[in-house]
Amino acid sequence: MSSSAPDTYTPKTGLGRISNFVDTRVGVSPIVKEFGRKIFPDHWSFMFGEVALYSFVILLMSGTFLTFFFDPSMAETHYEGSYVPLQGVEMSVAYASTLDISFDIRGGLFMRQLHHWAALLFVASVSVHMLRVFFTGAFRRPRELNWVVGCVLLILALAAGFTGYSLPDDLLSGNGLRIIDGVIKAIPLVGTYISMFLFGGEFPGTAIVGRLYVLHILLVPAIILLMIAIHLFMVVVHKHTQYPGPAVPKTTSSASPSVPFTRRRQAASSSSSSASWLPSLPTSRSFRSGITAPTTPPPCPQVPSLTGTSAGSMARSA
């Protein structure tokens, strides 16, 4: 790509030279121009999706730490770690390495707990996020496909949770696996075969932990990442669904400026401008989320005046 005018910019500072080096090779300026002032909704209910996203980031980081020490083998061993009550007990290598992470690797128990709680928060925040999208009608045209991607993400989150739950090979893992085996066997016609293919024969076999490990650390997170990329791409295409406020045309999306700490500003559950959408909350107008293209008829009949009045005055006093 050749530009018509020669590039005459010469950076003055060291940082400027580095930025210019990258910019002239990758084209960062147009990206900044497009996204640098991207506006974000500032109502607190838009935070749950982000909580889910950052939970996932924490899961990736803490999980990567755990893979350095976890051994997904079902070979039998005798525990020789420092937790006295279990010394000499026959167990699988997977469980022994889990105990080692907890008791013999500094910070290991902390990382296990971090991973565990982040996983719980991940599923919980995805669920609450979906409730927000559902009850505000934000799943409607043109966002139906993104709603479906979100549903897939919830299922994947559960799959990631289940496969991880099964890895330590403790009592809970065993019960969880036994239940999933029973669930799979209940599938008509092919259930028995799927169960045997999954477990490498009869329950429990010696393969399942290793197989679930590959699913848990590679396949499922990779698909989740892909789905998150699609999800966020569609959010950029559609823009957010915060209600139009007073004096803001319905075709615009309004919110606070985002730079430089968009993420943190959003983390604040309310801000001075959050009141701006409140007047419209009880009216059906406010539920016309997203792009109301000229071809789309309003999904609801026009608001009766009384509703508008009371809504307006209610918000005044709110």
Partner 1 sequence: MGDHSHGGPKSSGTVATAGQGEVEKFQDPGLPPHRPRLADKDPRAEKRAERQVAILFVISIIGTLLFFVGYFAIRLDDTIATLRLQNFLLGMGTCFAMLGIGVGIVHWAKTLMPDHEIAEERHEVRTEEDRQIAETMVGEIIEETGIKRRPLIRNTLLGAMILAPLPAIGIFRDLSKEIDPDVLRHTMWDAGVRLTRDPDGTPIRASDVTIGSAFHVIPEGLNEAEHKLEEKAKAVVLLMRLHPDDLNVSPGREDWNYNGIVAYSKICTHVGCPVALYEQQTHHLLCPCHQSTFDLTQECKVIFGPAAHALPQLPISVDDEGYLIATSDFHEPVGPSYWERG
Note whether 33 binds partner 1 by CB under 8 A. no
Pick from 121, 123, 159, 191 the residue near partner 1 by CB under 8 A: 191
Cα 27 to Cα 21: distance, rounded to the nearest angstrom: 10
Note whether 200 binds partner 1 by CB under 8 A. yes
Of the listed pieces 6-14, 153-161, 222-230, 247-255, which binds partner 1 according to CB under 8 A? 247-255
Instruction: Report 40-79 residues binding partner 1 (CB under 8 A).
Output: none
Instruction: Report 255-274 residues binding partner 1 (CB under 8 A).
Output: 255-257, 261, 264-265, 267-268, 271-273
Instruction: Report 271-310 residues binding partner 1 (CB under 8 A).
Output: 271-273, 275-276, 279, 283, 290-291, 293, 303, 305-309
Pick from 6, 188, 297, 301 the residue near partner 1 by CB under 8 A: 188
Segment holding 92, helix H or strand E? strand 90-92
Note whether 231 binds partner 1 by CB under 8 A. no
Nearest C-alpha neighbor of 254 from the set 270, 274, 237: 274
Smallest separation (angstroms) from partner 1 to the CB of 12: 27
**17/178 with CB nearer partner 1:** 178
Q: 3-class DSSP state for residue 302?
A: coil
| Other Cβ atoms within 10 Å of 130 Cβ, number | 19
Note whether 168 binds partner 1 by CB under 8 A. no
Cα 240 to Cα 146: distance, rounded to the nearest angstrom: 12
Long-range contacts of 258-267 (CB under 8 A, 24+ apart): 258/37, 258/38, 258/39, 258/40, 259/36, 259/37, 262/38, 262/40, 263/50, 265/40, 265/42, 266/40, 266/41, 266/42, 266/46, 266/47, 266/50, 267/47, 267/50
**22/237 with CB nearer partner 1:** 237
| Other Cβ atoms within 10 Å of 155 Cβ, number | 12
Smallest separation (angstroms) from partner 1 to the CB of 232: 16
Smallest separation (angstroms) from partner 1 to the CB of 9: 28
Instruction: Report 120-149 residues binding partner 1 (CB under 8 A).
Output: 142
